[in-house]
């Protein structure tokens, strides 16, 4: 028998939003516990995200490096972004992020994995796609701003990234999850066995 996460929702007797920013907010819920008592739970509300592990024909992964102010570090990451365009299909969002951050397109798309980044304190859900058959996009590059102004783009062998993750040298959630998931897929049934790019996503339902 396999195990899997299941949907469940405990009763909320009161809720408030003490902070709402441009993209995310903070919500406070009063939740009924199994013993009948109530407790408050504060958490960040988030629109959700997509990330792209783009693999070239030489087995290298496209990675970007940028400054992340909350952790005061420059992190190596895979292209990723918010689901902040109303009604946008997750696959279209992933394709847009790959173009904007790396000026790259891909021919083959699969769902690599779905994760909650920090379910004890945030409702962010991320869909990580595997993109293969990558090539440069023709025309002008997307105009970037803020942290992306000095973003570096590189291609690194998958094995080197796995080593970096296990050595504690690479820390970005989407990179860590994506790299290890791809390594597991390659060691198992292969990328062709992964879910299609339009597979259902209960955490962030969308119309096909």
In whole angstroms, give the CA distance from residue 106 to residue 137: 9
CA nearest 68: which of 141, 173, 155? 173
| CA gyration radius, the chain | 19
CA nearest 153: which of 68, 85, 76? 76
Which of the following is catalytic: 8, 148, 160, 207? 148
Q: In the annotation, is 97 catalytic?
A: no
At residue 89, the 3 state secondary structure works out as coil
At residue 144, the 3 state secondary structure works out as coil
Active site residues: 148
């Amino acid at each position: 028998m396999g195990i899997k996460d299941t949907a469940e929702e405990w009763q909320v007797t009161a809720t408030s939003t003490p902070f709402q920013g441009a993209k995310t907010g903070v919500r406070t819920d009063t939740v009924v516990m199994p013993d009948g008592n109530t407790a408050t739970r504060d958490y960040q509300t988030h629109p959700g995200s997509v990330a792209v592990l783009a693999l070239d024909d030489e087995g290298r992964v496209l990675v970007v490096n940028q400054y992340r102010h909350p952790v005061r570090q420059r992190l190596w990451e895979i292209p990723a972004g918010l689901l902040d365009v109303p009604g946008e299909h997750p696959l279209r969002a992933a394709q847009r992020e790959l173009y904007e951050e790396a000026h790259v397109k891909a021919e083959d798309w699969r769902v690599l994995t779905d994760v909650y980044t920090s379910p004890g304190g945030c409702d962010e859900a991320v869909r990580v796609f595997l993109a293969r058959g990558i090539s440069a996009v023709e025309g002008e590059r997307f105009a970037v701003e803020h942290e992306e102004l000095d973003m570096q783009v590189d291609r690194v062998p998958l094995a080197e990234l796995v080593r970096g993750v296990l050595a504690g040298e690479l820390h970005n959630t989407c990179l860590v999850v994506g790299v290890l998931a791809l390594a597991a897929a390659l060691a198992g049934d292969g990328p062709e066995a992964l879910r299609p790019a339009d597979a259902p996503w209960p955490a962030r339902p969308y119309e096909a």
